[in-house]
């Protein structure tokens, strides 16, 4: 089956060079083709260019062809959301209300709420039910333009529950048209291990990680390296054990304090260091020249009223920045990447162009898929969205809370 998108008002984020990420000043330039065509074949982007070149592109005559007129509409590569926790048992609006009344996120967490609350609810839920709920969420983010998503475990905490979460993610990979990467997350110390940290570390390293690897249930390993959670030394041990088991690292770093999470990430060539609210000049210079993608999660900072990551300083220093939703029940109960773009512009001073790179190619890098996703290039997977009729691409972050997406195409198929 071949799809031909014609009369596209503007085809956005084309990258004939297929860069794996975009950094610093280059983030402010987005390449587009006005009045464009794009051909999809066998799940892939076969060709694209200005309309007057359409008839020069190769046609295979016996192909079934479907034409879509995109007059007045723009076409983008789907968002890649490189950081979510969208497998969970229940929402936590009671904590949201408690915070409105003055309690803090950290105080709720140390008193058995937060992650521990989610873990208890998850332990009580059957795998099938978890799967059904998570499928509803992934379908919803698909409709708001996300075509690839990383999903973490971390609400299990016990071997049994962590494996249950990862099996759910594994099933989702088989049932959802979105591209999914799975990550094992060492998220928190269960209450009964608070005074036996070494025992829990032993369980993580010598039981959970090898069992997960034996069933090939996780692509990556992640650790919450922050005040009140895992120390730098513990985080290093977890990343090292992950690497031994074939999983590249990612790190929840510097959200609640200057935790040293960035240095752990850089030292172990982690794919990404995420959150970064407490980032100093040394952290920025350590990230420069590293292979680790700095990833900012505006939804969590917005929802928890956190200090904001110094995004302008990071980009001006020459760093790439990725944006992700952090979709989870405690700190960011939304996976809408259009809204993440709005927050990034309004709160962090990013330009619309910078947010396009940050939500597509850079976030694709942060989940290890930027060779095949995250921009419009020949041979990349045809994960795209067609907007409604819009005046310019800046109207997407401008129209916060609206969904301007009309048609979603994943793996070359209209959804």
331 binds ligand NIG (CB under 6 A): yes
- The count of residues interacting with Fe ion (CB under 5 A) is 1
Look at residues 319, 304, 214 and name the one whose alpha carbon lies nearest to residue 272: 319
Helix (H, G, I), strand (E, B) or coil at 186: strand
Kindly state the smallest distance separating residue 29's Cβ from Fe ion, in Å.
30
224 binds ligand NIG (CB under 6 A): yes
Q: Which residue is nearest to Fe ion (CB)?
A: 326
156 binds ligand NIG (CB under 6 A): no
Among 162, 255, 277, 354, the residue binding ligand NIG under the rule CB under 6 A is 255
DSSP state of 99: H
Q: Which residue is nearest to ligand NIG (CB)?
A: 330
Binding mask 74-113 for ligand NIG (x = CB under 6 A): -----------x----------------------------
Stretch that binds Fe ion, among 26-34, 105-113, 239-247, 323-331 (CB under 5 A): 323-331
Among 15, 222, 234, 326, the residue binding ligand NIG under the rule CB under 6 A is 326
- Classify 112 in phi/psi space as left (phi over 0), alpha (psi -120 to 50) or beta: left
Nearer to ligand NIG (CB atom), residue 9 or residue 152: 152
Helix (H, G, I), strand (E, B) or coil at 264: helix
CB within 8 Å of 79: residues ≥ 6 apart: 145, 146, 147, 148, 337, 359, 360, 363
- Determine the Cα–Cα distance for residues 254 and 278; give it in Å rounded to an integer: 5
What angle do the packed helices 114-123 and 159-175 form, to 10 degrees?
80
Rg, the chain, Cα only: 21
Is the Cα torsion angle 196, 110, 335, 90 positive or negative in sign? positive
Kindly state the smallest distance separating residue 58's Cβ from Fe ion, in Å.
44
Kindly state the smallest distance separating residue 270's Cβ from ligand NIG, in Å.
15
Q: List residues near Fe ion by CB under 5 A.
A: 326
Q: List residues near ligand NIG by CB under 6 A.
A: 85, 114-115, 118, 224, 252, 255, 300, 326, 328-331
């Amino acid at each position: 089956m071949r799809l031909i998108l014609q009369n596209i008002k503007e085809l956005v984020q084309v990258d004939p060079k297929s860069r794996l990420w975009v950094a610093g000043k280059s983030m402010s330039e987005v390449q587009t083709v006005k009045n464009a065509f794009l051909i999809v074949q066998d799940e892939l982007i076969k060709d694209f260019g200005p309309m007057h070149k359409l008839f020069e592109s190769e046609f295979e005559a016996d192909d079934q062809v479907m034409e879509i007129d995109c007059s007045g509409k723009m076409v983008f590569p789907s968002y890649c959301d490189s950081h979510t926790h969208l497998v969970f048992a229940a929402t936590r609006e009671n904590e949201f209300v408690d915070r409105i009344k003055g309690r803090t996120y950290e105080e709720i967490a140390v008193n058995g709420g937060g992650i521990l609350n989610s873990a208890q609810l998850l332990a009580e839920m059957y795998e099938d039910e978890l799967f059904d709920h998570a499928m509803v969420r992934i379908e919803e983010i698909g409709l708001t333009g996300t075509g690839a998503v990383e999903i973490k475990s971390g609400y299990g905490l016990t071997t049994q529950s962590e494996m249950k979460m990862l099996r759910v993610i594994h099933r989702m990979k088989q049932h959802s048209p979105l591209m999914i990467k799975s990550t094992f997350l060492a998220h928190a110390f269960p209450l009964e291990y608070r005074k036996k940290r070494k025992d829990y570390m032993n369980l993580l390293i010598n039981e959970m990680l090898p069992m997960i690897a034996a069933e090939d249930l996780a692509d990556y390993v992640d650790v919450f390296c922050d005040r009140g959670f895992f120390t730098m030394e513990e985080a290093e041990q977890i990343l090292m054990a992950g690497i031994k088991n074939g999983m590249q690292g990612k790190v929840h770093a510097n959200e609640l304090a200057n935790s040293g999470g960035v240095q752990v990430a850089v030292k172990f060539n982690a794919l990404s260091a995420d959150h970064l609210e407490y980032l100093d000049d040394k952290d920025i210079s350590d990230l420069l020249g590293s292979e680790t993608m700095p990833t900012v999660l505006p939804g969590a900072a917005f929802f928890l009223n956190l200090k904001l990551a110094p995004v302008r300083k990071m980009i001006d220093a020459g760093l790439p920045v990725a944006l992700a939703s952090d979709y989870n029940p405690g700190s960011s109960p939304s996976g809408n990447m259009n809204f993440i773009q709005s927050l990034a512009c309004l709160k962090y001073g990013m330009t619309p162009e910078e947010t396009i790179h940050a939500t597509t190619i850079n976030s694709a890098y942060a989940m290890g898929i930027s060779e095949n996703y995250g921009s419009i290039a020949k041979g990349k997977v045809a994960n795209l969205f067609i907007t409604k009729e819009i005046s310019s691409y800046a109207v997407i972050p401008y129209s916060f809370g609206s969904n301007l997406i009309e048609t979603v195409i994943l793996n070359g198929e209209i959804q």
